[in-house]
Amino acid sequence: MNVLKTAALGAATAALMGTTAMADGHACAITDGRINIVGNEFPAIQSVAAAALECASGVDAKANLTSEHQTINVAGMSGNPAEYTSAIIANSSIVSLINEDVIRPLDDLVAEYGADIPARQLITIDGKVMAVAFMANAQHLVYRGDVLEQIGMDVPTSYEEVLAAAEKIRAMGIMENPVGGAYAAGWNLAEEFVNMYLGTGGAFFEPGTANVSINNAQGVESLEMMKALAAYMNPDYLTHDSNATNAEWEAGNVALMNMWGSRTASLMDDEGAAMEVYSNTVAGGPLTVGDSGNAASTLWWDGWTVAKNISDEEAAATFQALAHATSPALLNDETMSQAVWLMDGFESQPVNEGVLATVAAGASPYPMLPFMGLLHTAAGDNIADFLQGNESAEQALMDIEAAYTASAKEQGFLQ
């Protein structure tokens, strides 16, 4: 479980080795083939894509980084030849690429060009390497140190303590809506539910089957906690995705929020926020809910894949460019704080502490199940009704189950 932690703590040794690794520099100059990368858009991925393109300056090389990558990557890799030679994905989105069978196993490419990729970076499914991970991500508490000091409370470790602190902040008139969260109806809201539900110790499916089972005490507890938190949020919370939540944070309107580790660097830099805000922004650990003691967060990795429907030459070019882009050669003063990198040579920065603490707390990885995406979508469509007080928690959970079951039948996961 704690491969990552050991890796991070062992960074000192790795750094020594890293110097030599960087010295040989992988000799990345690709002369044949074609590279076209599709992926999400945030600083760490931008750095990786830029490094990969740099390698391939001699050939046809492009990258399309957009937050809408999930809606185009399957379509862009289904053709033959595929438009995209690589998709940068996370552990949730690799599932649809595998389901649609558009990415190739990388074992022979790893053997030929990737001997120095550490085993922890290789994502293997049924013994076959399907992706190479380069960074870890997780949501965790981000808090304003000065505000907590002002109200005289310790850093919350559970959502119950967040509620207590929020009440005090509001009562003392410091902030009207001190809690933030990416609660935009749809994917974001469902992700918060997934976190919360795992935090209560719930399981999404009956073991070994695609039968959903969330209409239970843990499901109700999760929804009730989300509603309690929403009472301390900006009234527009159902329209706030991560970007809007971060804008609220940088405007100084929020003191406590559950936020992605990959976003903390931009919250703690001096761009877009007053000094009082950014200098007091601290990345805390994951929060728990109820008395289960589980972290209410999921672990994520981001990694790259190679398309199936491309020539071996293109696959080799894509593999080499991305292997180089996610090797220790990527790490420098600027990129070091952009993510919790999985490469040797990574040195933990203060902004990364939240993710490392979440890993250390034993949070579970986001489930890599072929039908999890359907449940995620169903949850995203049905939780807002409950939060707005239109229906009971049980009804919302029943709706999620029913919507999931209908789509799982259509997709052939249920009979």
Site residues for another protein, 121-180, by CB under 8 A, read 121-127, 133, 136, 176
| Cβ-based nearer residue to another protein, 60 or 236 | 236
412 counts as binding another protein under rule CB under 8 A: yes
| Cβ-based nearer residue to another protein, 19 or 67 | 67
- Number of residues engaging another protein in binding (CB under 8 A): 72
Q: Tell me the CA distances in angstroms from 172 to 147, 178, 376, one per residue in order.
A: 11, 11, 38
- The piece of 9-17, 80-88, 114-122, 159-167 that touches another protein (CB under 8 A) is 114-122
Footprint on residues 10-39 left by another protein (CB under 8 A)? none
356 counts as binding another protein under rule CB under 8 A: no
Q: Tell me the CA distances in angstroms from 150 to 84, 170, 174, 175, 254, one per residue in order.
A: 52, 12, 9, 12, 14
Residues 163, 238, 256, 355: which binds another protein (CB under 8 A)? 238
| Cβ-based nearer residue to another protein, 54 or 394 | 394
Q: Tell me the CA distances in angstroms from 10 to 13, 115, 342, 361, one per residue in order.
A: 6, 20, 12, 18
Do 224 and 393 contact (CB within 8 A), yes or no?
yes
Residues 46, 213, 349, 377: which binds another protein (CB under 8 A)? 377
**Per-residue interface string for the shown chain with another protein, residues 188-227, x marking contact by CB under 8 A:** --------------------x-x-----------------
Cα dihedral 85→188→296→216 (10° resolution): -110
Smallest separation, CB 79 to another protein (Å): 15
The HSE-up count of residue 211 (CA atoms within 13 Å, CB side) is: 6
According to DSSP, residue 185 is labeled T
| Cβ-based nearer residue to another protein, 197 or 300 | 300
Backbone angles phi, psi at 138, to 5 degrees: -165, 160
Do 74 and 96 contact (CB within 8 A), yes or no?
yes
The residues that bridge with 257 in the sheet, in sequence order, are 142, 180
Smallest separation, CB 270 to another protein (Å): 22
- The piece of 13-21, 44-52, 96-104, 348-356 that touches another protein (CB under 8 A) is 96-104
**Could you tell me which of 23, 52, 50, 47 has the C-alpha nearest to residue 35?**
52
Strands 86-90, 298-304: pairing kind:
antiparallel
Element (H, E) at 276: helix 275-278
**Could you tell me which of 298, 296, 288 has the C-alpha nearest to residue 366?**
298
**Could you tell me which of 405, 334, 325 has the C-alpha nearest to residue 28?**
325
Smallest separation, CB 259 to another protein (Å): 19
Footprint on residues 62-91 left by another protein (CB under 8 A)? 70-71, 74, 91
Residues 359, 360, 361, 400: which binds another protein (CB under 8 A)? 359
117 counts as binding another protein under rule CB under 8 A: no
Smallest separation, CB 295 to another protein (Å): 12
The residues that bridge with 158 in the sheet, in sequence order, are 288
| Cα(240)–Cα(244) distance, integer angstroms | 5
The HSE-up count of residue 391 (CA atoms within 13 Å, CB side) is: 13
| Cβ-based nearer residue to another protein, 50 or 74 | 74
Footprint on residues 239-258 left by another protein (CB under 8 A)? 239, 241
| Cβ-based nearer residue to another protein, 52 or 233 | 233
**Could you tell me which of 248, 27, 288 has the C-alpha nearest to residue 140?**
288
- The piece of 41-49, 270-278, 281-289, 376-384 that touches another protein (CB under 8 A) is 376-384
Footprint on residues 36-55 left by another protein (CB under 8 A)? none
Residues 112, 206, 269, 410: which binds another protein (CB under 8 A)? 410
| Cβ-based nearer residue to another protein, 38 or 299 | 299
Strands 298-304, 364-365: pairing kind:
parallel
Residues 320, 371, 393, 397: which binds another protein (CB under 8 A)? 371
Smallest separation, CB 339 to another protein (Å): 12
